[in-house]
Chains A and B, each alone.
Chain A
Amino acid sequence: MATAVKTVVDCISENCPMPLVKTRAAIMDAKKGDVIMVKGTHPQSYEEIPMALDAMDIKVLEQKYEDATWYITFMVS
């Protein structure tokens, strides 16, 4: 992916609702245009973080699963 990731949010092994919470905290700390990548293992958060981003009108740039870890990348708007 061409856009450089500014912040990586590590949610490996974290359970509900912490991946959502950490994602939101990272957005609050970020500036418009910053690219954030969240990685985690909690399966439902792979679906629900994009829902939260949609609620905040933030578009997902990339979303993938590799082995048991997922990665969600987005730009703060």
Chain B
Amino acid sequence: MENKKATIILHSGGFDKIMSAYIVGNGFLSMGIPVSIFFTFWGLNALKKKGFDRAPLSKMNMLGLGRAMIKRRMKRHNVASLEELAQSYKSLGGITIACTMTMELMGIAKEDLREDLVTEYGTVGKYCYVSKDAAITLFI
């Protein structure tokens, strides 16, 4: 089977949406399909230092209570943490593009980001260039 590329735009900054992007990204990589995730707008907050810890649930966050509850349930059901998912995504060769336009817009410097996770910096041009050969594109 020909392994085509997949790209994901992570526009949302919710804990659950970041989880989804990484889970799907890991899934594609596990099947030998190269993946790039473009972190833009609220999604870029995930790549900030402590971004995974600070990300609220997109629904029923209840001042962090909902997130704490989900994290407890994740542990109980042996669901990998965001950090583990991000590390496996990286080790399987997943590409992480940080949107520099969002960085400028929100006053985020490279030093504010998890540079250990970011593989590339770029704007829509880079995303479109990577996506032109992609068979699958998801917007989260």
What is the number of residues of chain B that contact chain A, defined by CB distance less than 8 Å? 19
CB-CB under 8 A from A14, the residues of chain B are 78, 80
Q: How far is the CA of A13 from the CA of B79 in the complex (A)?
A: 9
Residue of A nearest to B33 (CB): A55
**Is A2 among interface residues, defined by CB-CB distance under 8 A?**
no
Number of A-B contacts (CB under 8 A): 52
Query: Which among B27, B30, B31, B77 has the highest number of chain A CB atoms within 10 Å?
Result: B30
Closest chain-B Cβ to A43's Cβ sits at a distance in Å of 13
Q: Mark A57-76, 1 if CB is under 8 A from B, else 0.
A: 10000000000000000000
Closest chain-B Cβ to A18's Cβ sits at a distance in Å of 5
Q: Tell me which residues from 10 to 56 in chain A have a Cβ below 8 Å from any Cβ of chain B.
A: 13-18, 20-21, 23-25, 28, 51-52, 54-56
Query: Which among B27, B77, B84 has the highest number of chain A CB atoms within 10 Å?
Result: B27
Closest chain-A Cβ to B32's Cβ sits at a distance in Å of 4
